Amino acid sequence: MNYLEEYKKWCESDEFDEETKNELLKIKDDEKEIEDRFYKELEFGTAGLRGIIGAGTNRMNIYTVGKATQGLANYILKRGTQDKGVAISYDSRHMSPEFSELTALILNANGIKAYVFEELRPVPELSYAVRELGCTAGVMITASHNKPAYNGYKVYWDDGSQIIAPVDKDITSEVKAITDYKMIKKMNKDEAKEKGLFNLIGKEIDDKYINELKNRVLNPEIVKKQGENIKVVYTPLHGAGGETAKRILKEIGIKNLYVVPEQEFPDGDFPTVDYPNPEAKEAFKMALDLAKKVDADVVLANDPDADRLGIYAKDSRSGEYKDFTGNMSALLIAEYRISQMKEKGILPENGMFISTVVSSNLAKAIAKEYNLDFREVLTGFKNIGEQIKIEEQKENGKKYVFGFEESYGCLIGDYARDKDGISAVMSLCEAACFYREQGITLWDQMINIYEKYGYYKETQVAIVLEGASGAEKIKQMMENMRNNLPEKIGNYKVLEFKDIKLDVVKNMVTGEISKTGLPTSNVLYYELENDAWCCVRPSGTEPKIKLYMGVKADTNEKAEMDLEKLKEAMKDLVK
């Protein structure tokens, strides 16, 4: 069936409600819009769905969400784990409450219990709830930091981590097997409640999650003391993190918390930002204005589902607010927590520090300093969660201490299995109190870390190539780089080359060939001399080829200069 026939079916069939039909009739003269909505089905990928909200097969709506949920239900039923139930949460995006309830009722119609948060909650609390309630799966309705037109559907498995192989592929197969929307089972909410299938959750899980975080504060007395003095500006960027972040900071003793009033409450339009992403400097404009007004020490921003955190902190020498990359903020937390755990004698002897192939090499230096086993995984926090699970299942497995990825996300403990922007808020405020006790700011401490380990600097470049021709160009770029190994990139000798798709590691000095030991992924990694590196991969969700790189130098100025040169060399290499 072509896109025009599919459009006609949606406009005429009794499978679809009148509101959907009316929306589609409004575009009857716009063939380009019809084509975009119907030329394909919204793909259920390795973690679920993400797309623009609207009517059509290539949109997020009650039918595409229903299809995904029926596929998930069929998989759970085949596994025989339906009695464990599924935890469901959502963020502040348009249609999030509706998609959340719809997901629950379709599961209920299949005889599967649902535990639904009574109001929006952050991703990390959903991950925690899956584990705490002993659920077989979890669903988070969110499009993370995408623009307001989007929503999404993320699936978690029983360990609280986003689904990985082979579960992801098996669920995808079940979703694809739903070839007719009439195959989606339905149930009335009152009937579901009466049968004990539809269950609301909230305060009890909130309290347990908050207490879990509070128990991980390493210096509570210092926080209470300096919490009287330190000033924190925070924004949830109209998302799900606001109430939870405010609560945890209040309960650990932060007295001077200033929440950006225009961004405090949930709003799916995200009216004060073009892009609700704490990685974007523009998202901090209102928070920084407030910080200057109240003379804040720390400025923090979560994304809409509160798994990521961006930060600015004051430089005591210049008085300016300095922004931290995702690598910097995570490694500041890591150095603080790991050093304090060691000092207090609670750092596990068989501790494990996990990072990703595109994150800072400073992580390796910190792991080495504290004698932690360092693990490097592919991008995606689910791969960090997988390593935790693997070690948990061993009789004397490694104990998880810390994990992070460069995209502004970390996890301070094994109570959840996804990035936790709420615990990052707590940890950075705790660290700010600790270092204030020593007369320095978080930025001053970041400089101290660089002075201790070396100035590690990282950046990335995304080259956008849209359409079929762009996809072909990206494919050619990857193959050209795969088949033409350079001896040098910029001023750096290539020491080792990893082709993760082909599971090949080549030592460029000895010529020795070995295996990566990583799951197959279209990623090329170059280990360079002097602790520099670079990496290339196509984006899995956007028409981009992404270049990542990092360097190490003795001074900040030298590191920034070297990084700029390496960036230009990488851009030349992929041409």
Are 147 and 222 spatial neighbours (Cβ–Cβ below 8 Å)?
Answer: no
Integer Cα distance of 523 and 479 in angstroms = 11
The DSSP element (H or E) to which 464 belongs, if any, is strand 455-464
From residue 307, give the alpha-carbon distance in Å to each of 323, 343, 425.
18, 29, 10
78: number of Cβ within 10 Å:
11
Return the beta strands (E) in 77-229 as ranges.
Answer: 86-90, 114-117, 137-141, 150-157, 198-201
- Structure-token pair, residue 211: 């207490």
**Helix, strand, coil abundance in the chain, percent, nearest 5:** 40, 20, 35
- Work out the number of other CB atoms within 10 angstroms of the CB of residue 82: 18
Angle, helices 421-437/123-132, rounded to nearest 10 degrees: 110
Element (H, E) at 224: helix 220-226
Q: How far apart are CA 231 and CA 228, in angstroms?
A: 9
Environment class of residue 313 by beta-carbon count within 10 Å: exposed (0-12), middle (13-18) or buried (19+)?
buried
Has 521 been annotated as catalytic?
no
d(CA 314, CA 308): 21
Q: Which residues contact 100 (CB under 8 A, 6 or more apart)?
A: 88, 89, 90, 116, 117, 139, 141
Q: 133, 83 in Cβ contact below 8 A? A: no
Residue 29, phi then psi, degrees to nearest 5 = -100, 5
Q: Is the peptide bond before 166 cis (omega within 30 degrees of 0)?
A: yes
Phi-psi region of 526 (alpha: psi -120 to 50; beta: other; left: phi over 0): beta
Contact 114, 83 (CB under 8 A): no
Of the candidates 127, 144, 329, 407, the residue annotated as catalytic is: 144
Residues that are catalytic: 144
